[in-house]
Amino acid sequence: MKHKPIDEQVIVVFGAASGIGRATALAALERGAAVVAAGRDREALDALAAEGPAGKVLVCTADAADEHEVAAVAEAAVAAHGRIDTWAHVAGVAAYGRFEDLAPDELRRVVEVDLLGPMWGARAALPHLRASGGAYVVVSSEVAKRSFPLTSPYSAAKHGVNGFVEALRVELEHDDTGVTVTQIMPEAVATPFFDHARSRLGVRPAGPPPVTSAEAVADKILHAAEHGGRDVPVGAGARAQLALQRVSPRVMDGFSRLAAFRLQRSDEPKAVGDDALFEAPSGDARTEGPAARSATG
């Protein structure tokens, strides 16, 4: 499947304020796309718009868990540009801790943002993507097919995304819409994600190595915007994990027992509430952030 070149596209990046979304929006702008940048952190979105060419960035403040706010982003994109060619759904949150230690409102919030959010994005975008024969791209995770301990709500939501896009893809293919559905599944990514995550570990959460960059994920998103795709792992760690899970889930269980608890805990203290689970960050326009166990390694 071939879509329009990036420099002819109108691309909605939902979750563009920081991290992968910000890297995607900047890469799309550099390649000549018109970008609709949506997210919760208005100050960071305005900073993004200031970096782009005049008139190329439309900023929309919205929470992925609110179906009406998501729908308003699609409406604003079409009002400004007349169409949507790619909807890149990147927004995500996390709460780290043993399942029994996580509060019900924390569990609910992760599922609402990380599973229902992509669904609301698809509902808002699909009428316009059908008209343009465009691309729906969602950033999921390697945990969409193999869960990690201490991330039960996040892993559950990403498993849900995997099931959702499998069903949606076949429905759209059955109707011969020309719309492609691509799930991007990165390994841990060095972004502000871990700073923004709720932690009941007593420390900042960390990503198990190896760690990839936001720019590497953005490259895969924009490739899918032009060429479609199915399930796209990003990073050698993600590819290895997915392959090993297919061969021997028991071996992956053993790895998780031995290493995942240790590798997902940094050495930096972090209090519950020092995060962006419920409240948006203010002006955190970073693309990069700490992912490893310490700030230096």
Bond preceding residue 210 cis, omega within 30 of 0: yes
Quick one: how far is CA 220 from the chain centroid?
A: 12
> Greatest CA separation found in the chain?
53
At position 45, the amino acid (one-letter code) is L
DSSP states of 202-262:
SEEE-PPSS-B-HHHHHHHHHHHHHH--SEEEESHHHHHHHHHHHH-HHHHHHHIIIIIHH
Choosing from 96, 154, 193, 194, which is the catalytic residue? 154
The rounded distance, in Å, linking the Cα atoms of 59 and 49 is 7
What element of type H or E holds 21? helix 19-30
Number of Cβ atoms within 10 Å of the Cβ of 20: 31
Cβ–Cβ under 8 Å, residues 9 and 34: yes
| Distance of alpha carbon 160 from alpha carbon 17, whole angstroms | 24
Q: Is 136 a catalytic residue?
A: no
Cα–Cα distance measured from residue 253 to residue 147, given in angstroms and rounded to the nearest whole number: 9
Element (H, E) at 270: none
The set of catalytic residues is 154
